[in-house]
Structure 1
Amino acid sequence: MKTKAGTNRTVPIHPRIRPLVIKWYNKAQELNSEYLFNCTDTNTARSNLMLTYDKYRRRIEALVDALELNPDHRAHDGRNTFITMCKNAGVDEYAIKKMVGHEIYDITEKVYTKRDPQWLHNEILKIQ
């Protein structure tokens, strides 16, 4: 959400997390929300369901405290883990950037190379 590369992008869903995504999608449908993840705690107004990065970060920090986890854990840990898993599995560098919403500066890849969603799906399946 911070950059143009991070918005309106295709993100393949790995089969191992598909049930979780379906669960959250169904919940969003019940709420009539356009967002996959929503703020539904009692302190959130119905008109403000959007889970912003700040709200997410505060929730992660509270969870780390409540579970007495290593205080070095941060909201970005999931992105770090995902990208590391991709690299270890040999996922194409540009596929990783597309999936996580990082800008691609290579003109050939950014402008002239057309990739279909199946390519991204095949790349994410490299993660076991």
Structure 2
Amino acid sequence: MNISKKMLGLLVLVCMVVVISGCTTTNNTSSNSGNSNASNSTNASASNDVTVIVSYPGSWAADVSGTFGYRSLSGTGDQTTNLGSVSGSVTISARKTEGGSGTLTTSIMKGGKNLGTASTSAPWGGASTTAII
């Protein structure tokens, strides 16, 4: 199986998880409206690095994938993770790991620009977004 079939399979799987988990909002725009000042920062970010952000007051787990490979993240509260200088497709899929009703938001940022955002307020819900860098 070549890399493009793997990426397509992963994208289909992520979409199925989002549909099942109750993703309520998706906004793939190039606006600057993302939360680039999350309270926990995994790494410092250079101006053109790609970062993924999970914003949720409770516990969550997330999967990040792209041409760089795969990363598994988890935490409580807001977290920004620097992926470095990557190109191609980047997908982040996060889910609540407790039944909270607060809003969980995922974002993909590059150089201060929001490349994609998704959110859910469903208990046990998940949110996923993909951007082409």
TM-score scaled by length of structure 1:
0.26
Point out the structure with the larger helix share: 1
The structure with more radius of gyration: 1
TM-score scaled by length of structure 2:
0.25
